[in-house]
Structure 1
Amino acid sequence: MTRMAEMGAAPLVLDRKARARAAIAGSAGNLIEWYDFYAYAYTALYFASAFFPSGDRTAQLLNVAAIYAAGFLIRPLGGWYFGRYADRHGRRAAMIASVILMGAGSLLVAVLPTYATIGAAAPALLLVARLMQGFSTGGQYGAAATYLSEIAEPGRRGFYASFQFVTLIGGQLFALLVIFALQAAMSEAAIREWGWRLPFLLGAALAGAFLLCRELMHETAEPLGEGEEAGSLKVLARHPRAMLTVMALSAAGAVTLYSFTTYMQKYLVNTAGMAVTTASRAMLIATFAFLLLQPLLGTLSDRIGRRTNLLIFSGGMTLFAVPLFGALARVQTMLAAVLLVFAALTILSFYTSVSGLFKAELFPARVRALGVGLGHAIASAIFGGTAEYVALLLKQWGHEGLFGWYVSAICAVAFLVAFTMREPRAHGHLT
């Protein structure tokens, strides 16, 4: 293993244009991956009754949310498998494989028969598809974070790495746009009957198309093969502080992200009483503004440091989660909903813009993808994947207001961790 590979630098000498093209290609794969993952969340309001026909709307959404959470619970396994693969055989190879697997999961959802056709086998197969997608997503995060952090020019890593969340949010935004287009072109009855399948078919097609741009991606570290303990849990165990830091901050980021994005559409409909189309439009506008903030705050982190970004996020959300949820429960206009959701997402952006980068800086190259992917996946599975389920369960129990306190408490723990950590830009493993 060369010193260059150990430090995580690109073994190829690349000019700025080649780096930019590689980053765009890697980001495109990330966008497709997250579009596929979020298509499920945004179509749930339409297909819940197709797979779980009995019960009221909240009960149906709880069942769909449980399967959604299962997709998160398998993410640590995907984070381990693809992280190990990326550290041993290359970030590029791991990213391509995970996108293909995600597309296969989307295709399965698109062609699934309903409960009325095959009975209990329908939700069982839906679960299989979500497990495929969750396994894929668990691997994509670590590989993409590592790739974008390593391909970036020193001094501009905050800007380059922010595109992981530009494309993650872009996947959400694209999923929302597709839903909006369906709402404009089809009746609600038609979408519930069969139109909800179209976003999943599109996701499968995009995953196949991604293979066409894979040649633009350059490997950023020498593949280490099966030796030298690359991608080894034994080596990763030598970095317990880094793992705990990743997990604590990822927990806060995940619960905040999924609360104010995927769950928020349902919250506006199910709690504030908004029409589905109005809630979708509000989320579309707020999500687009959220996307635009990422490179700005990523660039800011190159000046003020990743730790400062993380302190602003965790401290801000500790203070404002409860009042934001309370205000959104009483919101009456789309404009008010947009402003309140965007306020929450602005605070969150101080985390998302540096999410993959600060984690990559905490680990040496030989376990970087594994450390980032596994640590993030465990926290996301526990706190992100269950956020919607916890919120709906509290609502069903008549204590919906407690959910804001739940989010605030998790972010308070993250604030303490960020306060005690060293600045990863100066003391990390990326040079």
Structure 2
Amino acid sequence: MSNAEHLAKDRTPDSVRPPSRLRQLAAASIGNAVEWYDWYAYSFLAVYFAEQVFPKGTGNSLVPLLSTFAVFAVGFFMRPVGGLLMGAIADRHGRRTALTLTILLMGGGSLLVALTPTYTATGVLAPLVLVLARLVQGLSVGGEFAASTTFLVESAGPGRRGLFSSFQYVSTTAGQLLASAIAALLAALLTEQQMGEWGWRVAFLIGALLSLLGLWIRRGAQETLPQALHAVRAGETPIEQRAADRPGLFEALRRHPRQSLLICGITAGGTIAYYTWTTYLPTYAQVNAGFDKGEALTVGTLSLIFFALLQPLGGLLSDRIGRKPLLLGFSLGFAVLAVPLLHLVTDSFVSLLLVQCAGMVLLTGYTSVAAAVNAEVFPARVRAAGIGFPYSLTVALFGGTAPYVGTWFKQAGHADLFPWYVAALCLVSFLVYLTLPETARQELEK
């Protein structure tokens, strides 16, 4: 190679060089785990900080806790907004820019929760600060799926999109497990009074620090948006890049309405099954079978570890046999088995563990390939925003409400209807999956 060629190679921008697959995978996965740690820490620690932020209602000690979970729900419904806005940023300015912004927002939201004043000290300012922090976190986590999904799938090598896709839920589960472990450790080391006074703040400060780690890792990632790479290769200035044609905020919805509805259909069954089996099932066992609360949490933790280990296997399998067989197996399995499986839940430890693990084997048919399937629906120009808004909206409507719907059926005296509700949504998704073309061996649309 001549000296001129060596010099030209040395001057090649980092964003144009072939990306390190491992670095790309780490940038998406570790950052995503940090995001979900911050998100789940709130629900695990709400019982400790509720009374510090919200005043008690007259004669009702549950008012602070109910108010805290109402704020949790508000954060859920910010996710579609985050999916739209952060998705648009990812499509206009690059995936790495959006990923950097989402983790900064999540870390900032976590820090704000940690610094939330007490109601005794500041009055109504305390719940207002908490609401603001949760709105910021909801915005962040909604945009995270859109940006990290596209980044993961676009970073994958040939025949590896399914494998890379599976790490979306590996990292999500890792964040959930880490939040649970930190909360349990703090509760074990500190007294109940210390946890209520200041211990809960430590977990959110840890989340803010972890966000800095995730930010450092993501800053070393390489861009995958084809338009941004083309601009760098063409030697365009930042002003010329800004002047270039970029997608509008609602372009994905306006130009690809069918694909947007398709994302809703793909997600509906998957999100209700996911939140029922990974989040609500321990509570369902307590409410409907009198299961011990502590043992229910142990079962939930063991099954989540099992679930995380399954994801790469599902992703690899989809790269070999295709996405549709896994999706059809998942949706038909839940449509047929959701009712009998949930009816098998008793106060037996082994019974609940087997039911939860059986459901997670079926669920892997969706979670391990969801990112790849969603990314393969849209062209690169509007991929992040096209996924972000309909996906997050469907999750908010069906996934985030799963515990509330299940509890409502119980209170109304119709607890047996909830399994049928899960089965019906999975059947809807099964019909949608039948219409999908197989995309595992197709080139990702640029």
Please give the TM-score of this superposition, normalised by the length of structure 2: 0.86
Tell me: higher relative CO, structure 1 or 2? Use CA pairs within 8 A at least 6 residues apart: 1
Alignment-derived partner of residue 88 in structure 1: 92
Alignment-derived partner of residue 150 in structure 1: 154
Alignment-derived partner of residue 413 in structure 2: 398
- For 1:370, the aligned partner's letter is A
1:343/1:58 CA distance change after superposition, 3 Å: farther
295-304 or 156-165, which deviates more: 156-165
1:89/1:46 CA distance change after superposition, 3 Å: same
Alignment-derived partner of residue 376 in structure 1: 391
Is 2:169 the partner of 1:165?
A: yes
Q: What CA distance in whole angstroms lies between the structure 2 residues aligned with 1:43 and 1:382?
A: 24
Q: Could you give the per-residue CA deviations for residues 55-88 of structure 1, whole angstroms, max 9, x where no partner exists? A: 7787765544332221121111111111110011
Tell me the matched-pair count. Answer: 418
1:327-406 matches, cutoff 5 A: 327-328=344-345, 330-333=346-349, 335-406=350-421
Residue 428 of structure 1, CA deviation:
6.8
Structure 2: give runs of 5+ residues left out of the alignment.
Answer: 1-13, 229-240
Alignment-derived partner of residue 27 in structure 2: 25
Q: What CA distance in whole angstroms lies between the structure 2 residues aligned with 1:244 and 1:285?
A: 35
Q: Could you give the per-residue CA deviations for residues 324-383 of structure 1, whole angstroms, max 9, x where no partner exists? A: 33333x3232x4322222222221111110111110011101001111111211111211
- For 1:305, the aligned partner's letter is G
Contact 1:78 / 1:137 at 8 angstroms: preserved in 2?
Answer: yes
Q: What CA distance in whole angstroms lies between the structure 1 residues aligned with 2:130 and 2:104?
A: 18
- For 1:106, the aligned partner's letter is S
1:79/1:227 CA distance change after superposition, 3 Å: farther
SS in 2 for 1:425: coil
Q: Could you give the per-residue CA deviations for residues 201-228 of structure 1, whole angstroms, max 9, x where no partner exists? A: 2111111222222343010123264642
Alignment equivalent of 1:39, drawn from 37, 41, 50: 41
Residue 421 of structure 1, CA deviation:
1.6
Please give the TM-score of this superposition, normalised by the length of structure 1: 0.89
1:189/1:331 CA distance change after superposition, 3 Å: farther
1:279/1:409 CA distance change after superposition, 3 Å: same
Q: Could you give the per-residue CA deviations for residues 264-293 of structure 1, whole angstroms, max 9, x where no partner exists? A: 343344554444433322211111110000
Identity %: 43
1:338/1:92 CA distance change after superposition, 3 Å: same
300-309 or 86-95, which deviates more: 300-309
1:272/1:47 CA distance change after superposition, 3 Å: farther
Alignment-derived partner of residue 138 in structure 2: 134
Residue 167 of structure 1, CA deviation:
0.5
Alignment equivalent of 1:243, drawn from 239, 254, 260: 260
- For 1:32, the aligned partner's letter is V
Residue 11 of structure 1, CA deviation:
6.8
- For 2:330, the aligned partner's letter is F
SS in 1 for 2:159: coil
Q: What CA distance in whole angstroms lies between the structure 2 residues aligned with 1:210 and 1:327?
A: 41
- For 2:406, the aligned partner's letter is A
Q: What CA distance in whole angstroms lies between the structure 2 residues aligned with 1:407 and 1:61?
A: 27
- For 1:261, the aligned partner's letter is T
Alignment-derived partner of residue 76 in structure 1: 80
Alignment-derived partner of residue 111 in structure 1: 115
Alignment-derived partner of residue 297 in structure 2: 280
Alignment-derived partner of residue 3 in structure 2: none
SS in 2 for 1:36: helix
1:216/1:262 CA distance change after superposition, 3 Å: same
Is 2:317 the partner of 1:304?
A: no
Alignment equivalent of 1:292, drawn from 290, 305, 309: 309
- For 2:354, the aligned partner's letter is L
- For 1:174, the aligned partner's letter is L
Alignment equivalent of 2:434, drawn from 419, 424, 429: 419
Q: What CA distance in whole angstroms lies between the structure 2 residues aligned with 1:423 and 1:414?
A: 16
179-188 or 344-353, which deviates more: 179-188
Contact 1:177 / 1:284 at 8 angstroms: preserved in 2?
Answer: no
Q: Could you give the per-residue CA deviations for residues 200-258 of structure 1, whole angstroms, max 9, x where no partner exists? A: 22111111222222343010123264642425423542222221121112122222222
Contact 1:71 / 1:130 at 8 angstroms: preserved in 2?
Answer: yes
Alignment-derived partner of residue 6 in structure 1: none
Alignment equivalent of 2:251, drawn from 234, 251, 260: 234
Q: What CA distance in whole angstroms lies between the structure 2 residues aligned with 1:225 and 1:272?
A: 59
SS in 2 for 1:218: coil
Contact 2:275 / 2:402 at 8 angstroms: preserved in 1?
Answer: yes
- For 1:209, the aligned partner's letter is L
Q: What CA distance in whole angstroms lies between the structure 1 residues aligned with 2:430 and 2:55?
A: 40
Residue 188 of structure 1, CA deviation:
4.6
Q: State the superposition RMSD in angstroms.
A: 2.5
Residue 416 of structure 1, CA deviation:
0.7
Contact 1:87 / 1:369 at 8 angstroms: preserved in 2?
Answer: yes
Q: What CA distance in whole angstroms lies between the structure 1 residues aligned with 2:243 and 2:173?
A: 35
Contact 2:78 / 2:138 at 8 angstroms: preserved in 1?
Answer: yes
187-196 or 277-286, which deviates more: 187-196
123-132 or 28-37, which deviates more: 123-132
Q: What CA distance in whole angstroms lies between the structure 2 residues aligned with 1:390 and 1:73?
A: 16
Alignment-derived partner of residue 190 in structure 2: 186
Larger radius of gyration: 2
Contact 2:277 / 2:356 at 8 angstroms: preserved in 1?
Answer: yes
